[in-house]
Amino acid sequence: MLQVQEVGYGYGHRSWWRSRSESDFVLKRVSFELESACCLGLLGTSGAGKSTLGRVVLGLQKPHQGQVLFEGRDLYAAGGRLRKTLRREVQVVFQDCHSSVNPLMTADQIIGEPLRNYERLSARELKRRTGELLEQVGLSIDDGSKRPDQFSGGQLQRINIARAIALRPKLIVLDEPVSSLDRMHQSLILDLLAELKASLGVSYLFITHDIQAAMTLCDRVAVMDRGEIVHLTDSPDSLRDSGQTAVRDLIEAVLPEHPADRLTLF
Ligand SMILES: Nc1ncnc2c1ncn2[C@@H]1O[C@H](COP(=O)(O)OP(=O)(O)OP(=O)(O)O)[C@@H](O)[C@H]1O
């Protein structure tokens, strides 16, 4: 479904005295494939290039090298109409659930936004669909009239997820979707994402620095380090035994609530 081929990306401007060189790239010839109904984790420490790659896949940052193909179509060579279709099929959930929503809108309005943009629905049908979406993410129809400041972080992230699935996309880029939540809510949101993947057949590109979250949700995991994929596995559980320095750094970064738990986690 998604093919990322030899993608390179560098920030900063090219000038007459200095051309952009590959050594400056924060993404260096990154390649991977993502199949339907599959969750691929992009795991790496801060600055590895995960979010940059996410934005490239979302069509927001044109790569300086390589191609991104979505169902065989080059995302960046597509014309206006095709790009609109692609935008519908690829959605995103960001880490910061608060800044992802307009604080003045109700949950119904937030979730209904993509439906209003892409589908011609009567007010009654729109209300029915947003109610359905609220229930799909574990909220109630009555929550539809509430505004963002009336929800907890976990509930607000459910609203962001409801908005992301509203158009039945084929791919959702999840950019650290649980990082700002406590462990209990992280686990609940990961369960919800797993349920939605199974029921909707949607694929995820799950950007995270949390190796436990990656092992919980992902079917495959690509470990990134300084702009490159240094390890790709179809069995995420095997990561705990990896000798890769980048993977060991991620394991070290996990701080269990009680030190005694450290041994049982890995
Ligand atoms: N807008 C920008 N302008 C210049 N450099 C940037 C910009 N965004 C990211 N970078 C740089 O690109 C590199 C990769 O950043 P990116 O945010 O993609 O990494 P990441 O793995 O997602 O990290 P984190 O988990 O901390 O978000 C970093 O060195 C970062 O400083």
Starting at the earlier edge strand, list the strands of the sheet with 65-70: 27-34, 2-9, 65-70, 73-74
In a structure prediction context, what are the per-residue pLDDT tens digits for the chain, which is 266 residues long? 999 999 999 997 665 555 566 668 899 999 999 999 999 999 998 899 999 999 999 999 999 999 999 999 998 987 878 888 888 999 999 999 899 999 999 999 999 999 999 998 999 999 999 999 999 999 999 999 999 999 999 999 999 999 999 999 999 999 999 998 988 899 999 999 999 999 999 999 999 999 999 999 999 999 999 999 999 999 888 888 877 788 888 877 765 555 555 444 44
Mutate to test the pocket of ligand 1, among 50, 175, 179, 230 (most ligand atoms within 8 A of CB): 50
Q: How far is the CA of 28 from the centre of ligand 1 (A)?
A: 13
- 24 C-alpha to ligand 1 centroid (Å): 13
| pTM summary value | 0.90
C-alpha 51 to ligand 1 mean position (Å): 7
ipTM: 0.96
Residue of the CA atom closest to atom 12 of ligand 1: 26
43 alpha carbon – ligand 1 mean position (Å): 14
Give the whole-angstrom CA distance, residue 157 versus residue 134: 12
